[in-house]
Structure 1
């Protein structure tokens, strides 16, 4: 079985964690927009007549890469995969329409998590300023407050994990990405999963949803 899986959900819902486990369990590709763009950061996109000539120029400035570029990168990543877990795309209805032209989907998973929990998860993240290791003040705290277990470096809160920025990210999600769910609500393989559980419990539900619907 080589299922084609789309996983949706707001920032902090646990899409990355569950996608990695699905890719391993079902031996399929884990495709993320972040990886696709990083792998093609220096690709020449001058023929598209956009503001910049490479995806990296948008990324380095912290700007959103245009849909036309993201669509092309995702399509290329999916073209070589018999089965996949797609995470981080589509982010808006135009991208969802483009995805429909690229491939069929067997299963569409939506991880549902209350907003208050999302804010707690995202604002509680801490990252080692030296080695990049990830911790959480509540769910996976370091042995010593503010100190990395792995290298002894200082743990910091990234700028995009502050409450103000997190709430802005969630607002963008509600405005742009949440409406995409309506497109998939009638899909035969659409399953909403309660993401407000322990990761292993979410995993059991996610795995069963794929086994049942793929």
Structure 2
């Protein structure tokens, strides 16, 4: 099973990806995780990517296309894979189609977790992450026991630059302008499965599995 999961920033696709990866035993290919790791290691790619990500902008297509092609070419996904955070533009979708075709791989389905913009703004602006261990929190939905302090390691909680309100609005505007048209791209291919992301996490997961089957 080869899946692609889509959704606006903060729609909960990361949470659903984690559950689906476990359920179907898939390999996770997340461009966000790849870039965060590169930025943490201060690599050449990481330094370049940070210029864009810290402003809530997309990393240039050619950089991202090359990273995904490199990962897919390894064929290290025995039960299939899940692409998360890619593609985000028409050009990336075309590049992915070409890569999959070259490698003889077919997508099983494209999941779109759909949530309203105003709900997402509240979700994302309240997110916090431990600066030490990386554990995630939310000021309303999942607050720490002591304000600003991680429950697990005592590290200080910070707000990621791309979760600041201006960056969130910028990311949503970019999504609506550049990524939303991809839904039509995959609808034409008969791959799109639209899921209501406004429900609870478990309900969203059950809806996805019911549409995908076993």
TM, length-normalised to structure 1? 0.83
Query: Which of the two has higher C-alpha Rg?
Result: 1
Aligned residue in 2 for 1:19? 17
State the Cα distance separating 1:54 from its structure 2 match.
4.3
RMSD of aligned alpha carbons:
2.2
Q: Distance in 1 between matches of 2:168 and 2:29?
A: 24
Q: Report the TM-score, using the length of structure 2 for normalisation.
A: 0.83
1:155 partnered with 2:152: no
Q: Which residue of 2 aligns with 1:70?
A: 64
Distance in 1 between the 2:179 and 2:165 partners?
Answer: 20
CA distance in structure 2 between the aligned counterparts of 1:138 and 1:57, rounded to whole angstroms: 33
Contact 1:19–1:87, Cα closer than 8 Å, also in 2: yes
Give aligned pairs, total.
199
Which of residues 89, 93, 112 is equivalent to 2:90?
93
**Worse overlay, 137-146 or 84-93:** 137-146
| Residues 133-158 of structure 1: per-residue CA shift (max 9 Å, x gap) | 21101111112222221233332323
Instruction: Give the Cα separation in 2 of the matches to 1:55 and 1:129.
Output: 22
> Which residue among 5, 8, 11 is the counterpart of 1:7?
5
- TM-superposed CA distance for 1:127, in Å, is 2.0
- Within 5 Å, give how 1:54-203 maps onto structure 2: 54-62=44-52, 64-79=58-73, 80=75, 81-82=77-78, 83-103=80-100, 104-203=106-205
1:131, distance to aligned residue in structure 2 (A): 3.2
Gaps of 5+ in 2: 101-105
Shift in Å at residue 38 of structure 1? Answer: 5.9
Gaps of 5+ in 1: 42-52
The separation in 2 between residues aligned to 1:68 and 1:151, in whole angstroms, is 38
Contact 1:37 1:73 in 2 (8 A): no
